[in-house]
Structure 1
Amino acid sequence: MAMHYSVGLDVSLEKTAVCVLDEDGAIMLERTVVSHPDDIALLLSPFTDKIKRVGLEAGPLAPWLYGGLTDKGLPAFCIEVRQMKAFAKASPVKTDRRDARLIAQAMRTGLFKATHVKTEYSQRIRLLLRHRQSMVRRNKDLINTVRGSLKAFGIRTGGGKNTLYARRVREAIDDPMLLAMTEPLLKAFEDGLHTLARIDKMLLEIVKQDAVCRLLMTVPGVGPVTALTFRTAVDVVHRFDNSRLVAAVFGLTPRIHSSGEMEQIGRITKSGDTMVRAMLYEAANVMMTRCRADNWLKTWALGVARRRGARKAKVALARKLAVVLHRMWRDGTEFCMEKPMPILR
């Protein structure tokens, strides 16, 4: 009977610790190589035909290494970071070599949970979405800095999201020295708005060519950014057999602690993709507060708001939006304004 080997990779930015175990758990190879698919594949070449699994933690380099290793015919698996951290806590000693050994043991025994590695299309779009998110945060920080610093001189500027804010600040400052000190931040804010406009233009061009995004945008409150964020987060619609699992993966389901006769239901788990969770909450907020046309989702959410409060209603609506959007994508059907979808009855 042919011997099979299991491989663990502990990846860092420059170097990767590699551990190869046989079926009995004996160490066949422990080495450190450059964090590149070619170097790792070359090191594993003596075992290539007999490797059962190659495991690596999810991380910044994981998609690139995963794609490179699978292209070379290696059976690569990406593992949840939280699971490997739980394994590592069992030992008081932490080194890259030991972590690689733990990952190899998980591959050998099958005690691991593989994570989905996004397609190249989704990875590229996520890059643009992250850049947009960074620019939004940067502009928000600039506004807060200007507002906070000018309050010390009795100047109240209020908030703003466009070039009118910079104009209003300039008009409010009558001290030439203060204006000169504030002008660099205002200029940076205006430059950020121009950058955001260019990014938004690219996103709109992508949405126009993406049939899935156009379908998801038939839901009131779901705009181009939310549609693209959800589409790239799910990536492959058939990842989920049940649409309700989508809400759980994105951390929109409540924590449950059950022991004996006691059962406690807490706040949402907030696990998984932070960006898509935030965009679904924003879509829920838009639907409840800005959309004039009534639909069954809005009516349901407003009922929850009367009983439990607006904030909990928006979280509940975000959870239901995740389920509805996935079901629409899977079935290829547009949003129905009049009645609930069968899965939610």
Structure 2
Amino acid sequence: MKSDSQLPIIGMDIAKNVFQLHIVDTETGEIQRRQLKRAKVAEFFTNRQPALVAIEACGGAHHWARTLLAMGHQVKLLPAKHVRAFVLRDKTDALDAQAIWVAAQQPHIREVPVKSEQQQACLSLHRIRQQLMKMRIMQTNALRGLIYEFGIVLPEGHKKLLHSVQAELAKAQQDNRLPEVVVLSVQEQLKRVDALQDDIDQLDKRLGAIVKQNQQMLAVQAIPGIGPLTASALVSTTSDLSTFKSGRQFAAWLGLTPKQVGTGGKTQQLGISKRGDTYTRALLVNGARAVIGRSAHSSWLERLLQRRHFNVVVAALANKMARTVWAILVKGQAFDQVKWNPTATAVA
């Protein structure tokens, strides 16, 4: 089998119905631009010699990547924001396919790992849960604001609000501070919030079941600050961590390393770059906050908190968690509490 560098490159701009291909003949240099209906794409690649097909990582890209891999082709998924830099002049399907073809030959652009159906299924549960969480927050915030118009102040936080809202409604009703029609509407709103919470709980159970059946997720879950949500999201987002040379490179891919700005031989480090998957990075950061919020800290965290801002310490711990994930999954070793914090008191 030819290596990726020896295979002809095909830039493919995918869409719902019409796909655009950009092909350059390796011998003559002739440029071919072809449009294919969605139903004809599989047939076209079935009848071709193996090639390196470059695709922008967008909706449906992982499905087509798996399809092409099964046909014997090599696939390179490219981040959309990196492809955009190679689009010349106006934006058309043909120019997009050409930009993908050019970007596929840039060695500094890291490709997006092709996800399996199981990984995509797990991430689908995460996306649904994330959407339901946003809807729940919108519902409770709206409820708090509406009740506040009648002089009733409800506490912030989902659990605190649900714990106190019924008593506040009953008291306001007795004092004739809240019209009956508003009380009935608020009760209906609370039922919708409860229904959303039930759906979220069901998704948490399904994700927990997935974690129990996956050895990598179980191994990662042993790290302080990483629970079932973060473990399942990390393993499903990153197909093969061995493509990263080090834990630092993996942390940089997640956007947890400082952004650097340099000119004239002087380099300045700013805040974290925030590149990569926003959702996975947020889970790691939230896990780091939970660890720091505990009553018992490791000696490393205590010393860091004494000299740096709280948010800097959170980012540093999230970075350490990402590096530990890389070490566990690439080296195949179980989490070691002593290596994690050799001089620490036990972390609660």
Give the TM-score, by structure 1 length: 0.86
The residue aligned with 1:205 is 209
The answer to whether the 8 A contact 1:207-1:213 is kept is yes
C-alpha separation between the residues in 1 aligned to 2:89 and 2:22?
20
Q: 1:260 aligns with which of 250, 260, 264?
A: 264
Report the alpha carbon displacement of residue 154 of structure 1 after superposing the two structures with TM: 0.9
C-alpha separation between the residues in 2 aligned to 1:159 and 1:131?
24
Report the alpha carbon displacement of residue 131 of structure 1 after superposing the two structures with TM: 1.5
Q: CA, structure 1 residues 316+20, in 2 after alignment: closer, same or farther (shift >3 Å)? A: same
Give the 3-state SS of the residue equivalent to 1:12 in structure 2: coil
C-alpha separation between the residues in 2 aligned to 1:230 and 1:107?
26
The answer to whether the 8 A contact 1:7-1:107 is kept is no
C-alpha separation between the residues in 2 aligned to 1:221 and 1:136?
20
Q: Write the mapping of 1:51-66 to structure 2, written as runs, cut at 5 A.
A: 52-66=51-65
One-letter amino acid of the structure 1 residue matched with residue 164 of structure 2: R
The reply on whether 1:12 has 2:11 as its aligned counterpart is: no
C-alpha separation between the residues in 1 aligned to 2:292 and 2:92?
50
Give the 3-state SS of the residue equivalent to 2:20 in structure 1: strand
Q: CA, structure 1 residues 330+64, in 2 after alignment: closer, same or farther (shift >3 Å)? A: same
Which runs of 5 or more residues in structure 2 are unaligned? 1-5, 343-348
RMSD: 2.4
Q: Write the mapping of 1:1-345 to structure 2, written as runs, cut at 5 A.
A: 5-23=8-26, 24-34=28-38, 39-44=40-45, 48-49=48-49, 52-88=51-87, 91-107=88-104, 113-162=110-159, 165-166=161-162, 168-173=164-169, 174=173, 175=178, 176-290=180-294, 292=296, 294=297, 298-340=298-340
One-letter amino acid of the structure 2 residue matched with residue 169 of structure 1: V
The answer to whether the 8 A contact 2:8-2:52 is kept is yes
C-alpha separation between the residues in 2 aligned to 1:4 and 1:213?
35
Size of the aligned set, in residue pairs, is 328
Q: CA, structure 1 residues 121+106, in 2 after alignment: closer, same or farther (shift >3 Å)? A: same
Q: CA, structure 1 residues 323+113, in 2 after alignment: closer, same or farther (shift >3 Å)? A: closer
C-alpha separation between the residues in 1 aligned to 2:108 and 2:24?
15
Aligned structure 1 segments of 4 or more residues deviating by more than 4 angstroms: 105-113, 339-342
Q: Cα deviation per residue 1:156-202 (whole Å; 9 max; x = unaligned)? A: 1112334x733532332322121122223211100011111111111
Q: CA, structure 1 residues 338+102, in 2 after alignment: closer, same or farther (shift >3 Å)? A: closer
Q: CA, structure 1 residues 250+96, in 2 after alignment: closer, same or farther (shift >3 Å)? A: same
The answer to whether the 8 A contact 1:6-1:105 is kept is no
Q: CA, structure 1 residues 251+111, in 2 after alignment: closer, same or farther (shift >3 Å)? A: closer
Give the 3-state SS of the residue equivalent to 2:337 in structure 1: coil
C-alpha separation between the residues in 2 aligned to 1:16 and 1:32?
5
Q: CA, structure 1 residues 330+156, in 2 after alignment: closer, same or farther (shift >3 Å)? A: same
Give the 3-state SS of the residue equivalent to 1:335 in structure 2: coil
The answer to whether the 8 A contact 1:301-1:314 is kept is no
The answer to whether the 8 A contact 2:304-2:313 is kept is yes
Report the alpha carbon displacement of residue 334 of structure 1 after superposing the two structures with TM: 3.4
The answer to whether the 8 A contact 2:10-2:53 is kept is yes
C-alpha separation between the residues in 2 aligned to 1:282 and 1:109?
35
One-letter amino acid of the structure 2 residue matched with residue 333 of structure 1: Q
Give the TM-score, by structure 2 length: 0.86
Report the alpha carbon displacement of residue 4 of structure 1 after superposing the two structures with TM: 7.0
Q: Cα deviation per residue 1:272-329 (whole Å; 9 max; x = unaligned)? A: 111111111111111111264x5xxx33223222211111100111011100122123
C-alpha separation between the residues in 2 aligned to 1:235 and 1:5?
25
The answer to whether the 8 A contact 1:21-1:108 is kept is no
Report the alpha carbon displacement of residue 95 of structure 1 after superposing the two structures with TM: 0.6
C-alpha separation between the residues in 2 aligned to 1:336 and 1:110?
36
Report the alpha carbon displacement of residue 213 of structure 1 after superposing the two structures with TM: 2.2
One-letter amino acid of the structure 1 residue matched with residue 42 of structure 2: A
State percent identity of aligned pairs: 26
The answer to whether the 8 A contact 1:17-1:30 is kept is yes
C-alpha separation between the residues in 1 aligned to 2:7 and 2:334?
49
Q: CA, structure 1 residues 167+243, in 2 after alignment: closer, same or farther (shift >3 Å)? A: closer
Q: CA, structure 1 residues 169+14, in 2 after alignment: closer, same or farther (shift >3 Å)? A: farther
One-letter amino acid of the structure 2 residue matched with residue 93 of structure 1: D
Return 228-237 or 91-100, whichever deviates more: 228-237
Give the 3-state SS of the residue equivalent to 2:51 in structure 1: strand
